[in-house]
Structure formats: structure tokens, C-alpha cells
Amino acid sequence: MKQNVGTEEAIKRWDSFADTYSKKHTEQGDLHKEVFLNPTLFSLMGNIKNKKVLDAGCGEGYLSRMFTKSGANVTAVDYSPRMIEIAKERTSHDLLIDYKQGNCEELNTLEDKSFNLIVSNMVIQDLANYEKAFQEMYRLLADGGSFIFSILHPCFVTPECGWERTDNGEKLHWNVDKYFYEGAYEQSLGDKKIYCSSIEH
Ligand SMILES: C[S@@+](CC[C@H](N)C(=O)[O-])C[C@H]1O[C@@H](n2cnc3c(N)ncnc32)[C@H](O)[C@@H]1O
């Protein structure tokens, strides 16, 4: 059965998790981002110098700062007020990033066709209504623009996934249960729980 949770409840969880989440991020993100995601994203983006780029669901902003250092004009939105606060704290004054608190499902303060590129890194799976967000991204893209997004793969994260361990705690294997589940589920991260969704195909 497909389940959903509201955007407001989901973002409350992200907001209370923002400090813990951000602590694990350097200026290249966390290890997975540094090793896997960033090289892939940058190879898909090509040259972004002077392009108008939206970082949709920017979190603590490492990617926005990387884009700006590559010469792009960056707007960055996140619905969590704390994430935006942290992103601003981490951004030096010479990096001119326009941070805004906003819901990717409804970005009506941003004008139609105002971006050449929209990147949403590991966000879409956290949205209550990703179809609405896709419509917004389409509205915001200039003609010929690109939308690049990354999401979790159910190979790694599903409801009830986790390490199977021996009695003395040694790892045996990673359980991937409910691979075909569609809908929202809680994912434990440190001492907090956030919501993820498996998107129906
Ligand atoms: C896994 S983090 C990724 C953050 C960032 N893109 C990165 O790569 O570090 C997901 C982010 O999506 C944000 N988010 C969740 N729902 C959102 C929504 N409806 N609108 C905007 N941001 C949202 C969360 O606050 C969180 O910062």
C-alpha cells in the first residue's frame, strides 16, 4: 500500500536533524557525495560559468558553494529554515549565493524560465509530492535548460533495510527488504528519523 506523509511533517524532521546532518559535511559534502555523486553531477552539467543555476533542496549548501566557485550565478532553496541558516553561516561573503527558504513543490517566488540549470541532489525522494516539484522545475527552466536530480536507489535504502549481525555485532550482510515498496517510510539517521519515499515507476 502506498503511504504518504505531509510536507510540513517531513520538513519538521529535517529541521530538527539539520545540525547533525551538516556536521558530517565538508566543502565537498559527505564521503558518498565526494566520491560518487559530485563527479557524476559535474560531468552531466558541463561548463556552468555564467549560467543561472538553482540548487533545489540545498541543505547546508556545499553544492551551491561548489557551483558558485565554478562561476555560476546560484539561487539555493531549502524548506528547512535551519538548513538555510547553516548554509548562510557556512558561506563566505565573497560567494554571492541567493539563499531562500522555500518548498520545492511550490516555488512561486521564482519566475518562470529563470534558470539554465536546476540540480536537486538527494532531495526528490524526500518530497511528499514529487510530481508537483517536477512541474515547478519545468516551469522554472529556460528553453533548452536542464534538470539533473539524484535519488536513493532501493538497492541501498528500503524500509527495514540494515545490517544483519552476529551476536557479537560483526556484520554479516546488508538486508534489502521490501524492494518494491512504494510510498513514504522512516529512515533512522543518528538519533533522528526522517521520511523518505520509494517512488513508483
Ligand atoms: C538529503 S538532504 C540533501 C541536501 C543537499 N542537496 C545535499 O546534497 O547535501 C535533503 C534536503 O531536502 C530538503 N527538503 C526536503 N523536503 C523539501 C521540500 N519540500 N522543499 C525544499 N527542500 C526540501 C531537506 O531540508 C534537506 O536539506
69-101 tens-digit pLDDT: 999 999 999 999 999 999 999 999 999 999 999
Is residue 2 included in any domain, yes or no?
A: no
- Split into its structural domains, the chain has a count of 2
Question: Residue 146's pLDDT is what?
Answer: 97
pTM, entire model: 0.89
Q: State the CB neighbour count (10 A cutoff) for residue 156.
A: 10
Model confidence at 175: pLDDT above 90? no
Q: State the CB neighbour count (10 A cutoff) for residue 10.
A: 21
Q: What is the mean pLDDT of the chain?
A: 90
Is residue 1 included in any domain, yes or no?
A: no
Model confidence at 187: pLDDT above 90? no
The distance from CA 4 to its chain's CA centroid, rounded to whole angstroms, is 18
Instruction: Note whether 122 and 180 are same-domain residues.
Output: no
Model confidence at 176: pLDDT above 90? no
Instruction: Note whether 41 and 131 are same-domain residues.
Output: yes
Q: Residue with the nearest Cα to atom 1 of ligand 1?
A: 122
Q: Residue with the nearest Cα to atom 15 of ligand 1?
A: 126
Is residue 107 included in any domain, yes or no?
A: yes
Give the three-state DSSP class for 113. coil
Residues lining ligand 1, Cβ inside 6 A? 7, 10-11, 14, 29, 57-59, 62-63, 77-80, 83, 103-105, 121-123, 126-127
Question: Residue 1's pLDDT is what?
Answer: 41
